Amino acid sequence: MKIVIDTLGSDNGAKDIIDACVEIYNLKKIQFVFVGEEKFLEKQLENKIEPKDYEIINSLETISNDEDPVRAIRKKKKSSMVMAFNRLNDSDCDGLISCGSTGALLSCGIFITGRIKSIKRATLAASIPTLKGNSLLVDSGANVDCKSEFLRDFAIMGDIYSKFVFDNKKPRIGLLNIGVESHKGNKLSKETYKLLKNEKRIDFIGNIEARDILNGTADVIVADGFDGNIALKSAEGMAVAILNQLKSALKSSAKTKFAALLFKSELKNSLKVFDYKEVGGAPLLGVNKAVFKAHGNSDKRAFKNALLLLIDYIEKDVISYLKEELCLEKNL
Amino acid sequence: MKIVIDTLGSDNGAKDIIDACVEIYNLKKIQFVFVGEEKFLEKQLENKIEPKDYEIINSLETISNDEDPVRAIRKKKKSSMVMAFNRLNDSDCDGLISCGSTGALLSCGIFITGRIKSIKRATLAASIPTLKGNSLLVDSGANVDCKSEFLRDFAIMGDIYSKFVFDNKKPRIGLLNIGVESHKGNKLSKETYKLLKNEKRIDFIGNIEARDILNGTADVIVADGFDGNIALKSAEGMAVAILNQLKSALKSSAKTKFAALLFKSELKNSLKVFDYKEVGGAPLLGVNKAVFKAHGNSDKRAFKNALLLLIDYIEKDVISYLKEELCLEKNL
């Protein structure tokens, strides 16, 4: 198995990425293509990964989140993202992972790797740690102004990913909406409800409200990327706000500092369920090869967990199942 | 001042509502029209509010959240909601408050009270307790499939409400979006961005992401009701999930129970900022009279706070300013 690693674009620099790869290398037979600053990479990899098991593609250029992605990938041919995706197109490469710009990754996936025949939109499927394990949010922000058929495809792809990578035998598919009743919602959600209800390939459990996501009510949550992204970031904002308030309260006096000492480990453990670093990355579903987006601020642990998911995704040959299932109906 | 109180439709029954009204009555010169179960109300009000200061309209029928609101208000002419709104239309009544179905309240507001001339959609403006005081979310779920002009009107109404009721001299108006850059978002948010940028009546600060709502980055957050509702409920879901985990962690051993005792009051205080019961209710902006939606599970404190806001809204004659500002441009 050969994986292309875009080592640029991470908030924490390339070192954590390399360290994660080295740890995985010691566990599994994997070859790497590292794209990034050649000299730095050579130094980091020396005596850690055998020279036959890696290659380096030199690149010093990144694409930022502020740039228009489509324009950027056309203009920045020497950026690590574009070079990584070009290398992925060679038949010896099986997958790619990057911490870089989400928009650029999506654009490269669509324009360089290419969409699976019959799919109109590729989706970035975010893993959400819930009280009942991981749920998958499709779409998490890659596609806005969706049509109901796009959301139906997201549901089918999310279903397959959940089955193979999260080992859910029969994933429960829910539609993100502002009420659970079938008549609730906007034009898109009402149309999508009908499509999903009639879709035999999935176990559609109906609408789910944003407040129930973390309960693990659905294994796969289907949404337009605009709404999915708002749900994700709103929950994140609340988590940060509460934890900050909690920290201040615990630091407010000698008494509360003592209390903090007493239950620090239990608190950490109890909140671990919501730690996205346990999951680490999101697959770009609907393109012809295995592509993963790791968080921009991934540390070693987060990147390692994302890489493990990518390896699992490749080993189980999920892409083949996706192609089969998606082309089935349309006889392509 | 005369206020119509719909006493049905609260999860906690009518007693908390009456008790809140009695407390307000002892502070301010207010007359009430109570709509609900006559015998119960008579008993509750005896010797608490002078007979000259209240009347009772008997109704035993409610409209549930599951019902189609427009159909329900047409069919259930004797429901407390419909009877309350019909009474509000009389010239001696200044405002109305209800804990009942949001959809029914919105429909009654539009079809019985009537929209302000020039306004196409009335908006339910939720108050969000943030680290910097209350922010206002317009729309919080009443209107889905919005057009950019609706959102522009929401912004103007939110601005006026924030000025008068929250005493913000120059409210910062933000547009809920999935990125802060002006080119980010879906078709609606891009169109709305342009409209708000050119709108001289407000101080538009640009896009804001859902994760920044609780920081108080904007005083008024403008959104399509679908997205606004998802942002609200997603944050709520995270808050409930974290607090439940926290409670379990604090109960897990004798040591942690002791820790809980030590910092209980500080914890409570620090999380009080996010307590919606401090705010209590949401105004329905854009209709011809002062209408408030109180939370379905309001207790006495929440209802009292909502009622105080409604009184403030009436006393400051905000509706007149709304009419003036909204009709200005359109020369109506």
| pLDDT tens readout for residues A101-122 | 999 999 999 999 999 988 889 9
- Using an 8 Å CB-CB cutoff, list chain A residues near B242: 238-239, 242-243, 271, 274
Edge-to-edge order in the sheet of strand A220-222: A126-130, A133-138, A220-222, A172-177, A203-209
Q: Which of A144-158, A313-327, B254-268 shows the lowest mean pLDDT across its residues? A: B254-268
Cβ neighbours, 10 Å, residue B237? 23
Task: Looking at the complex, report in whole angstroms how far the Cα of residue A135 sits from the nearest Cα belonging to chain B.
Answer: 15
pLDDT digit string (tens) for A202-214?
A: 999 999 999 999 9
Residue B140 β-bridge partners: none
- Using an 8 Å CB-CB cutoff, list chain B residues near A121: none
Q: Is the pLDDT of residue B332 over 50?
A: no
pTM: 0.91
pLDDT digit string (tens) for B210-238?
A: 999 999 999 999 999 999 999 999 999 99
Distance CA(A24)–CA(A97), nearest Å, equals: 14
Q: What number is the average pLDDT over the span B252-275?
A: 80
Distance CA(B247)–CA(B249), nearest Å, equals: 5
- The band of B329, judged by pLDDT with boundaries at 50, 70 and 90, is low
Task: Looking at the complex, report in whole angstroms how far the Cα of residue A223 sits from the nearest Cα belonging to chain B.
Answer: 11
Structure tokens at B55: 């009347």
Q: Is the pLDDT of residue A64 over 50?
A: yes
Is the interface score ipTM higher than 0.85? yes
Q: Is the pLDDT of residue A59 over 90?
A: yes
Number of helical (H) and strand (E) elements in chain B, helices listed first: 11, 12
State whether A267 and B246 contact (CB < 8 Å): yes
Strands (E), B106-167: 123-124, 126-130, 133-138
pLDDT digit string (tens) for A256-282?
A: 888 888 888 887 877 777 766 666 789
To which H or E segment does residue B269 belong?
helix B254-271
Q: State the first-to-last Cα distance of chain A, in angstroms, to the nearest integer.
A: 28
Q: Which residues contact A256 (CB under 8 A, 6 or more apart)?
A: A249, A250, B262, B263, B266
State whether A144 and B185 contact (CB < 8 Å): yes
Torsion of CA A263, A268, A270, A272, to 10 degrees: 180
State whether B245 and A270 contact (CB < 8 Å): yes
Residue-level pLDDT at A256: 83
Nearest to A211 among B141, B211, B237 (CB): B237
**For residue A122, which of A135, A103, A95 has the smallest C-alpha distance?**
A103
Residue-level pLDDT at A250: 84
State whether A263 and B250 contact (CB < 8 Å): yes
Torsion of CA A197, A199, A203, A209, to 10 degrees: -40
pLDDT digit string (tens) for B87-130?
A: 999 999 999 999 999 999 999 999 999 999 888 899 999 999 88
**Average per-residue pLDDT for chain A:** 92
φ, ψ for residue B34, nearest 5 deg? -95, 130
**DSSP secondary structure code for residue A93 in this structure:** -
Q: Is the pLDDT of residue A142 over 70?
A: yes
To which H or E segment does residue A246 belong?
helix A225-250
Task: Looking at the complex, report in whole angstroms how far the Cα of residue B231 sits from the nearest Cα belonging to chain A.
Answer: 5
- Using an 8 Å CB-CB cutoff, list chain A residues near B269: 249
Opening angle at CA B43, ends B40 and B47, nearest 5? 150
Nearest to A234 among B210, B260, B266 (CB): B210
Distance CA(B68)–CA(B36), nearest Å, equals: 22
Q: Which residue of A has its CA nearest to B257?
A: A263
State whether B144 and A186 contact (CB < 8 Å): yes
SS3 category, A197: helix
Q: What number is the average pLDDT over the span B168-178?
A: 97
8 Å CB contact between B3 and B32: yes
pLDDT digit string (tens) for A4-17?
A: 999 998 988 999 99
- The band of A73, judged by pLDDT with boundaries at 50, 70 and 90, is very high
Longest distance between any two alpha carbons in chain A, whole Å: 70
Q: How far is CA A275 from CA A126, A278, B8, in A?
A: 13, 6, 42
Q: Which residues contact A1 (CB under 8 A, 6 or more apart)?
A: A28, A29, A30, A31, A94, A95, A311, A314, A315
State whether B238 and A238 contact (CB < 8 Å): yes
Q: What number is the average pLDDT over the span B43-60?
A: 96
- The band of A332, judged by pLDDT with boundaries at 50, 70 and 90, is very low
Distance CA(B282)–CA(B293), nearest Å, equals: 5
Q: Which residues contact A148 (CB under 8 A, 6 or more apart)?
A: A188, A191, A192, A194, A195
**For residue B236, which of B100, B140, B123, B102 has the smallest C-alpha distance?**
B140
To which H or E segment does residue B103 belong?
helix B102-108
Q: What percent of chain A has pLDDT over 90?
A: 71
pLDDT digit string (tens) for B2-45?
A: 999 999 989 889 999 999 999 999 999 899 999 999 999 999 99
- The band of B278, judged by pLDDT with boundaries at 50, 70 and 90, is low
State whether B141 and A178 contact (CB < 8 Å): yes
